[in-house]
Chain A
Amino acid sequence: MYNQIRKIYNSLILVAVLSQLSCEFKPKKLPIFGSRTFNGVDTVYHKIAPFQFLDQDSSIITNDTFKDKIYVTDFFFTSCRTICPIMKREMLRVYESTRKMPEVVILSHTIDPEYDTVALLHDFAQKLGVESQKWHFVTGAKDSIYKIAQTSYFATAIQDSSEPDGFIHSGLFLLIDKKGRIRGKYDGTKEADVNQLISDIKILRLEDGL
């Protein structure tokens, strides 16, 4: 009787240990954000809507630019003195840590396109010391930028003259996969969050076998 109990106990422990191990060895998968629908065959995930903007080199930037690319995106403006310099300092860490990954790029949208012209964005990127192939700073029609921020990326971008710099916006960094789906959201003003983003990029690359 005693022996039987021991056997059962031992096998229970074995099962517990094994399940623990299998959990740990299962590769971590990033969530897919946004609403999803079923079209009868497949699950359809929320995707970034079609867009067209101009970057610091006057190149036209569309969804096609990011075909087969993983990208990190945010919303900012060059004259902002509040959270933007912190965001840019943190995004620069993302830039540096993905330098040797040509399939990872960065897309920063200005939310003040009237002031942030192509020439100004060019100057800004140059002074930050980054390459335009790797980090696109884009401007475009204000409505399109605000609309894509709110409906595609779920980021806040509103003009408000009562704010110190004239805009309300979140310091969100978003991680977008090769299919245009949101796979991560991070506070771009917090070092720990950005560290998480940097390690999540590695997990996302594993999905593509890189």
Chain B
Amino acid sequence: MDCKLIYFLTLLSLGFIVNMSLLRCDFRDPKFKIYYVEGQRLYNQYCSNCHSITGNGLGQLYPPLIKSDYMAANINKVFCLMKYGISDSIKVNGVVYNRTMFGVPSLTELEIAEIATYIYNSWGNEKGYVDVSTVSKAMKDCNAKN
């Protein structure tokens, strides 16, 4: 009987700890959640046709965003290509992709930050919230090049 009671109490407290940590995650940064949700909407609208809802891409036509070494190493380029597109060939996880990607010129810096927050925190990516000032700074460089 005692044993059962201890077991029950342990389970209860474990559940409590897990719950609290989840809650903390959600409330850690309300901005993160807003960016993420809006980013998901924009991603599904502008990017998912080619890169797929699940971030898997398609063959060697459209690169994956799920576990992408290119994305991890080139976040500033990723901000730029969302808006301006990219025609240079790139290597993602050892595979060369050389088809032109058209950008979405209408994207604002806020929208780019939202999409980045979504893609850098989905499908196993856990970079954390990408804020507008980071994007603004990076965009000045790509503006100069384009």
Contacts and interface: CB of A to CB of B under 8 A. Distances in A.
A40 B52 CA distance: 53
Category for how many chain A residues contact B: 10 to 19
Interface string B43-73: 0000001101000001111100000000000
B102 interface: yes
Interface in A75-113: 81-83, 85-86, 88-89, 92
B61 A124 contact: yes
B49 A86 contact: yes
Nearest to B62: A85
Contacts, number: 30
B88 to A, nearest CB: 17
A207 B56 CA distance: 37
B102 A85 contact: no
B67 to A, nearest CB: 19
A89 B102 contact: no
A209 interface: no
A83 B52 CA distance: 11
B92 to A, nearest CB: 13
Contact of A81 (B49, B58, B59, B60): B49
Most buried by B among A83, A88, A126, A127: A127
Contacts of A124: 61
A49 interface: no
A88 B49 CA distance: 10
A44 interface: no
Contacts of B62: 85
B49 A83 contact: yes
Interface string B90-110: 000000000100100000000
A171 to B, nearest CB: 11
Given A81-B49, A81-B50, A82-B49, A88 B58 contact: yes
A17 interface: no
A81 B102 CA distance: 9
Given A81-B102, A85-B52, 15 more contacts: A82-B49, A83-B49, A85-B49, A85-B58, A85-B62, A88-B58, A89-B52, A126-B60, A127-B59, A127-B60, A127-B99, A128-B58, A128-B59, A128-B60, A129-B60
24 contacts: A81-B49, A81-B50, A82-B49, A83-B49, A85-B49, A85-B52, A85-B58, A85-B61, A85-B62, A86-B49, A88-B58, A88-B61, A89-B52, A89-B58, A92-B58, A124-B61, A126-B60, A127-B59, A127-B60, A127-B61, A127-B99, A128-B58, A128-B60, A129-B59
Interface of A: 81-83, 85-86, 88-89, 92, 124, 126-129
Across chains A and B, which 8 residue pairs bring their CB atoms closest together, nearest first? A127-B60, A128-B59, A85-B50, A127-B61, A85-B49, A129-B59, A127-B59, A89-B58
